[in-house]
Amino acid sequence: MTISPTIGVRTALLPLSSAWLLAACVAIPPYQPPPLPAVRSLANDATAMITAVADGPHGQAQQLIEGTTEAKWWRMLRSPTLDALVDEALRASPTLAAADAMLAQAREAYAAQSGSTQLPQVDLGMVAQRQQTSPSSQGLPGDTREFSLYSASVGVRYRFDFGGGIDSSLRALAARADIRQHELGAARQALAASIATAAITRARLADQITAQTSILDKQLELVRLAEVRTRLGQATPDEASALKAQAELTRAGLPLLRKQLQQTEHLLAVLAGRTPAQGVPGFTLADFGLPGRLPLSVPSEWARQRPDIQAAEAGLRAAHAELGVAYARQYPQLNLSANLGSQALTTSALFGGTAAVWGVVGQLSQPLFNAGLPAERRAAQAALETAAANYQRVVLDALRNVADALRAVEHDAESLAALSRSLRAAEEQHQVLQSQYRAGAASPVQLLVADQMLLQARSGLIAAQAQRLADTVALGAALAGDPMRQVREDPQPAAFHQIPQAK
């Protein structure tokens, strides 16, 4: 009796078809994203909605209003020069180039795995061989023979994913690519914040150098006056020496400030993708504007934008998918392969009707005993718990980060107001003592003390003005997302993700 090859193949595969029933089995519960923070307040007491007011530049009140921080938050400082430098850095930074390349690598790894597991693999094979055989090897008489053998075939292979291992593996790779995407966003955010902070630091140092140089000029003028009075017999040499020592002490502080300024310029240049020799704009505090309104939304809104929280959530997704891979190893694996081709002794007969050959293979394997599989599941479970704890830590750190920035905005405004009053008093006292000294009614010691107080007050005021700008930078960076990417508004579940326990 002749059996049809098609019927034979179908009969051979019938025992394997029951394995399809396992495809409906779910190894672990489906992934649910964790909820975003539901808190309405970031501190145990109320934060001032309007800050204190101080005299002079950058002393105006700042008001917290309900709203969303724009992606390019540094534009709140109203400095076109800073905007241009940040835009240049986002294009030219080698740090971002490296992060972008890592993202491309992760995406291609996903594409490679997806292409090799979700679709059948088709191969073309061609073989030409020359060999010699001897009938004696089969116990037959006769002479040796030489012949050529040619073959050509097309093979198809496919693996069925009963336990969901392939799908889970792809989800893990996709989540890893998302991590790289959010890490790139975090790198962009950190770069913009670093440039804005460094630009403000450069401006502070430049203004402090200007203020200290101005005080030094006035001190040198008093030294010349004391020397004249000494020659006229109206003062002792010690008086001129004391004033000169104070002036030289003021002069000695300038090289340190210039060193810090130049180092900050070098940092700015490198952050922008330049060499230190190429230089950067000469920022001063007058180049920046303090925004009067600072948008602030509830944590569930701004947390959706933060790339560090998004990266932590993607890590949780990856760990959940890898747990699915570990569970899928306990299910059967079915591999099917088929090939169709021809074999002939000559190339001219290779594609003749009598040269056709074919084959179909089905291979089913089911783990019966593997002591390592439970350990793999427990390890994947521990990795998922680690990712969940890491997510919670990142969220708590983000809440603290924003709370710190809000407190800094509030209290540094109060500090600037106090320093402004202190400077005004120091200037008034210094002017009175200068007039009295010129008239011979004040001692050099009184003037030296007034000089020192004025220098400290001016330097402190400049630092406080710069700090208010830096606080705006810190708050903007804490609330905003990736400046180069649109935020994806995905709905979040109401319940926290339940981590399945390993069996």
Mean local confidence (pLDDT), 414-426? 92
Q: Is the pLDDT of residue 389 over 60?
A: yes
Structure confidence at residue 198 (pLDDT): 97
**297 CB-near residues (< 8 Å, 6+ apart):** 66, 67, 68, 69, 479
Is residue 337 one of the residues assigned to a domain? no
Contact criterion met (CB below 8 Å) for 256 and 433: no
Higher pLDDT among residues 503 and 43, named by residue:
43
DSSP string covering 313-355, please? HHHHHHHHHHHHHHHHTTS-EEEEEEEEEEEESSSTTTTSGGG
How far apart (Å, rounded) are the C-alpha atoms in residues 172 and 376? 16
Which of 176-190, 312-326, 327-341, 380-394 is predicted with the least confidence, judged by mean pLDDT?
Answer: 327-341
Q: What is the DSSP letter of 85?
A: H
Q: Which two tokens stand for residue 391?
A: 């997510």
* Closest to 496 in 3D by CA, of 395, 364, 419: 395
User: What CATH number is given to the structural domain containing 206?
Assistant: 1.20.1600.10
Q: Is the pLDDT of residue 260 over 90?
A: yes
Is residue 138 one of the residues assigned to a domain? no
Angle (CA) 61 190 497, round 5°: 100
| Arithmetic mean of pLDDT over the chain | 84
| pLDDT digits 0-9 by tens, 157-205 | 988 888 888 899 999 999 999 999 999 999 999 999 999 999 999 999 9
**What residue type is assigned to position 102 of the chain?**
M
How far apart (Å, rounded) are the C-alpha atoms in residues 467 and 461? 10
Is residue 172 one of the residues assigned to a domain? no
How far apart (Å, rounded) are the C-alpha atoms in residues 473 and 360? 66
Structure confidence at residue 320 (pLDDT): 95
Alpha-carbon torsion 181, 182, 185, 191, what sign?
A: negative
Angle (CA) 306 72 260, round 5°: 95
Determine the 3-state secondary structure of 160 from DSSP.
Answer: strand
Which of 141-145, 312-316, 454-458, 497-501 is predicted with the least confidence, judged by mean pLDDT?
Answer: 497-501
SS (H, E, C) 245-302: HHHHHHHHHHHHHHHHHHHHHHHHHHHCCCCHHHCCCCCCHHHCCCCCEEEECCHHHH
Structure confidence at residue 145 (pLDDT): 80
Mean local confidence (pLDDT), 298-308? 86
Contact criterion met (CB below 8 Å) for 79 and 287: yes
Is residue 56 one of the residues assigned to a domain? yes
How far apart (Å, rounded) are the C-alpha atoms in residues 127 and 155? 14
Spell out where 328-486 has E strands.
Answer: 333-344, 356-365
**What residue type is assigned to position 407 of the chain?**
R
Give the number of other CB atoms < 10 A from CB of residue 87: 15
| pLDDT digits 0-9 by tens, 126-157 | 888 888 787 776 777 777 788 788 888 898 99
Structure confidence at residue 45 (pLDDT): 60
| Number of compact structural domains in the chain | 1
Q: Is the pLDDT of residue 56 over 90?
A: no
Is residue 160 one of the residues assigned to a domain? no
* Closest to 128 in 3D by CA, of 143, 112, 144, 149: 149
Is residue 15 one of the residues assigned to a domain? no
How far apart (Å, rounded) are the C-alpha atoms in residues 384 and 378? 10
Task: Tell me which residue has tokens 């993202």.
Answer: 103
**CA dist 162 → 65, 331, 374 (Å):** 54, 7, 19
Is residue 6 one of the residues assigned to a domain? no
Percentage of residues in the chain with pLDDT exceeding 70? 89
Q: Which two tokens stand for residue 112?
A: 């490679």
Confidence of residue 15 (pLDDT cuts 50, 70, 90): very low
Q: Which domain holds residue 443?
A: 29-117+186-331+385-479
Mean local confidence (pLDDT), 79-104? 95
* Closest to 485 in 3D by CA, of 178, 65, 196: 178
**CA dist 13 → 118, 158, 309, 446 (Å):** 21, 15, 49, 105
Is residue 20 one of the residues assigned to a domain? no
Q: What is the DSSP letter of 53?
A: -
